Amino acid sequence: MFTNADGDYVSGQKISDLLGCSRTAVWKHIEELRKEGYELEAVRKKGYRIVGKPNKVSSNELLLGLQTTKIGQYIHYEESVHSTQKIAHRIAQEGAKEGTVVVAEEQTAGRGRLDRAWYSPKYTGAWMSIILRPSIPPQQAPQLTLLSAVAVVQAIQEVTNLSPDIKWPNDVLLNGKKLVGILTEMQADFDRIHSVIIGIGINVNQQETDFNEQIKHIATSLRIEKGEEINRAALMQAFFLKLETLYEEYLKNGFGLIKVLWETYAISIGKRIIARTMTANIEGFAKGITDEGVLLIEDDEGVIHRIHSADIEL
Ligand code: BT5
Residues with CB under 6 A from ligand 1: 83-85, 107, 110-113, 116-120, 127-129, 170, 178, 181-183, 199-201, 203, 215, 218-219
Distance 6 CA to ligand 1 centre (A): 37
pLDDT of 210-239, one tens digit each?
999 999 999 999 999 999 999 999 999 999
82, 145: one domain:
yes
153, 177: one domain:
yes
Distance 119 CA to ligand 1 centre (A): 7
CATH number at residue 291: 2.30.30.100
285, 153: one domain:
no
**Cβ atoms 3, 65 nearer than 8 A:** yes
pLDDT of residue 108: 98
113, 184: one domain:
yes
- The DSSP element (H or E) to which 178 belongs, if any, is strand 177-188
Scored b (16 or more CB within 10 A) or e, 138-164 reads: bebbbbbbbbbbbbbbbbbeebbeeeb
149, 295: one domain:
no
Cα end-to-end distance, the chain, whole Å:
51
CATH number at residue 47: 1.10.10.10
- Residue 165 Ramachandran class (φ > 0 left, ψ -120 to 50 alpha, else beta): beta
Atom of ligand 1 nearest to the CA of 107: 14
Predicted ipTM of the assembly: 0.99
Q: Which of 52, 71, 92 is the last residue of a domain?
A: 52
pLDDT of residue 53: 84
38, 90: one domain:
no
CA 299 to CA 267: how far, in whole Å?
19
CATH number at residue 194: 3.30.930.10
Q: Structurally, how many domains does the chain consist of?
A: 3
Q: Which residues contact 253 (CB under 8 A, 6 or more apart)?
A: none
pLDDT of 273-290, one tens digit each?
999 999 999 999 999 999
Instruction: Determine how many CB atoms are found less than 10 A away from the CB of residue 37.
Output: 14
73, 172: one domain:
yes
**Torsion 75-204-83-307 (CA) sign:** positive
Tell whether omega for the bond before 54 is within 30 degrees of 0, i.e. cis: no
98, 232: one domain:
yes
280, 165: one domain:
no
Q: Which residues contact 160 (CB under 8 A, 6 or more apart)?
A: 222, 225, 226, 230, 235
What is the pTM assigned to this prediction?
Answer: 0.92
27, 109: one domain:
no
Distance 117 CA to ligand 1 centre (A): 6
84, 22: one domain:
no
68, 199: one domain:
yes
- Containing structural domain, residue 39: 2-52
The residue to mutate among 118, 145, 177, 205, having the most atoms of ligand 1 within 8 angstroms of its beta carbon, is 118
State the burial class of residue 263 (Cβ atoms within 10 Å of its Cβ: 0-12, 13-18, 19+).
middle
Q: Which residues contact 161 (CB under 8 A, 6 or more apart)?
A: 226
CA 82 to CA 197: how far, in whole Å?
16
pLDDT one digit per residue (tens) for the chain, 314 residues:
887 888 899 999 999 999 999 999 999 999 999 988 899 999 999 999 989 888 899 998 999 889 999 999 999 999 999 999 999 999 999 999 999 999 999 999 999 999 899 999 999 999 999 999 999 999 999 999 999 999 999 999 999 999 999 999 889 999 999 999 999 999 999 889 999 999 999 999 999 999 999 999 999 999 999 999 999 999 999 999 999 999 999 999 999 999 999 999 999 899 999 999 999 999 999 999 998 889 999 999 999 999 999 999 98
